[in-house]
Amino acid sequence: MQKLLYPTGRLTLILLAMAVANYLVMVLVTLPTLQQMSGGLAVFDMMPTGYEPVHTYHLLTDLKEAGRNYYLTRQIPLDTTYPALFAISFFTTTRWLATKWPAARKPLRVLALLPIAAALADYTENVLIVMMLRAYADTPDALVQTASIATITKSGLTTVFFVALILAFAGWGISRLHRRPKT
């Protein structure tokens, strides 16, 4: 636990590499395959602004049994490991930055919690997607709306986190420039 609270740059890079590798497999393999299987319809994981019951019905129908099974057996397992990898890698990235920039340590420690919150929303989304895939034609609108809210929440938290992290790295870089002695 101590290594996660005060991570080294090496540990941070290893965790980031694992998260990126998992993400790339989803974005380059399973998600395009699902979109192809659906006849071009956007899949849940690629709809950051949410989705409606009508789209859900058409997606689940167009995926057919083979596509729904692929979603359950290929995409969902990858998207079960990804939120944990995302949370731990970006928690450690933010904590690493906090060790390098003491002036911003407190806000960075708070920022480090956002990837954990995003991961929880992602796990909620995944559970609800599994329920929709299994319910297929009998998927209640309330389930779709709840899953959509989880997707929007995950996407929103992730976006806020990345914007804040980029600003934090920029702030750290600027603070380092101001600390250098002038020659």
Kindly report, residue by residue over 63-94, the tens digit of the pLDDT. Answer: 999 999 999 999 999 999 999 999 999 999 99
Q: Tens of pLDDT along 103-112?
A: 999 999 999 9
Nearest alpha carbon to residue 123 among 150, 148, 85: 150
Q: Tens of pLDDT along 124-141?
A: 999 999 999 999 989 999
The answer to whether the predicted template modeling score (pTM) of the entire model surpasses 0.85 is: yes
Q: State the pLDDT at residue 177.
A: 87
Q: State the pLDDT at residue 56.
A: 97
Nearest alpha carbon to residue 30 among 62, 72, 75, 64: 75
- Give the residue extent of every domain in the chain: 2-174
pLDDT tier at 3 (50, 70, 90 boundaries)?
low
Share of the chain above pLDDT 70, in %: 95
Torsion of CA 169, 173, 174, 180, to 10 degrees: 160
Mean pLDDT calculated for residue range 155-180:
93
Q: State the pLDDT at residue 52.
A: 97
